Structure 1
Amino acid sequence: MQDIRKALYVGSRSDGTLIERPMSPHLQVYRYRLSMVLSISNRITGVIATGGAALGVFWLGAAAKGPKAFETARKVTGNPLGQLVLLGWLGSVVYHTVGGIRHLIWDAGHRYDKEELNKDGPVAVKVTAGVSAVLGIALLCVAGRRRHARAKAAKVS
């Protein structure tokens, strides 16, 4: 069965002849490009970063509330799932920051040619991966050393 609805409107060419034009392009029309995916990802990571900031406020609130509440927050952030969520938050904040820097450069009127955009996309992905990996490993090492120091102190007492 054929869909009888039309997503077209009647427009006119510059010579005055009538033509049917699409009302809005659909995703099937576009060819996916890295710049398109990165733009959508920048928006998604902005939402994730905001949600992670709410988790940060929860953690700070638990620290302010007292040792019992803070220990609960540490249990949540200390288990593997909690650490995975924190690493995802870290990656999204780093990517959103890199995307923000790209947009700042574009707003200044630089690197806006098609060739430059296509070159900058993979660079943004690599920078995000590198910075996220370095920060994630550093944070996991610090957490491991603190856990080791707490275990050592517990043995002594």
Structure 2
Amino acid sequence: MGKTVKKQRPVNLDLTTIRFPVTAISSILHRVSGVIMFVAVGILLWLLGLSLSSPEGFQSAAIVMHSFIAKFIMWGILTALAYHAVGGIRHMLMDFGFLPETLQTGIRSAYAAFGITVVLSILAGVLVW
């Protein structure tokens, strides 16, 4: 029989001590925003179906959209859409060679994506409220 090798690897299970680089955070948030948009399609289709079902359905949809929770959810959906679009444009600029694929450019473009998303999120808040 073969020898068993004991692996002496450090194990770090405390996630609060791990510091992700901004490029990793940007990538993770891009995926999360995609999942949020996928779920949002169901919500938006339900609201559209309700509003198109009848005049009473339209009134029901209008009443739903006047609640704070519905406005907050709509703002969240628009913010996720904005971040996903900005992150997608960022990736396409790199893929097509308009931005060099260096660590420094990745860091700067991630911060730029965050900044642009904050501005778009504020505009979405003004639009919704």
Find the aligned partners of 1:31 and 1:57 in 2 and give their Cα distance: 38
Query: Shift of residue 27 of structure 1?
Result: 9.2
**1:41 is aligned to 2:33:** no
TM-score computed with the length of structure 1 as normaliser: 0.67
Equivalent in the alignment of 2:3? none
5+ long unaligned stretches in structure 2 = 1-5
Aligned residues: CA RMSD: 2.4
Find the aligned partners of 1:111 and 1:67 in 2 and give their Cα distance: 54
- 1:85-104, aligned counterparts within 5 Å? 85-104=73-92
Which one is further off, 37-46 or 51-60? 51-60
How many pairs were matched up? Answer: 120
- 1:77-156, aligned counterparts within 5 Å? 77-109=65-97, 110-140=99-129
Q: Is the 8 A contact 1:46 1:92 kept in 2?
A: yes
Find the aligned partners of 1:111 and 1:70 in 2 and give their Cα distance: 49
Decide which of 55, 62, 73 is 2:61's aligned counterpart.
73
After superposing on structure 2, the runs of 4+ consecutive aligned residues of structure 1 that deviate more than 6 Å are: 26-30
TM-score computed with the length of structure 2 as normaliser: 0.80
Query: Shift of residue 139 of structure 1?
Result: 3.4
Equivalent in the alignment of 2:49? 61
Is the radius of gyration larger for structure 1 or structure 2?
A: 1
Higher relative contact order (CA 8 A, sep 6+): 2
> The residue matched to 1:85 in structure 2 has which SS?
helix
Identical columns (%): 25
User: What do residues 43-86 of structure 1 show as CA deviations (whole Å, max 9, x unaligned)?
Assistant: 00001112112211112111221122222222222100111111
Closer/same/farther in 2, CA of residues 88 and 118 from structure 1, 3 Å limit:
same
More helix by share: 2
Find the aligned partners of 1:45 and 1:90 in 2 and give their Cα distance: 10
Which one is further off, 65-74 or 111-120? 65-74
5+ long unaligned stretches in structure 1 = 1-5, 9-19, 141-157
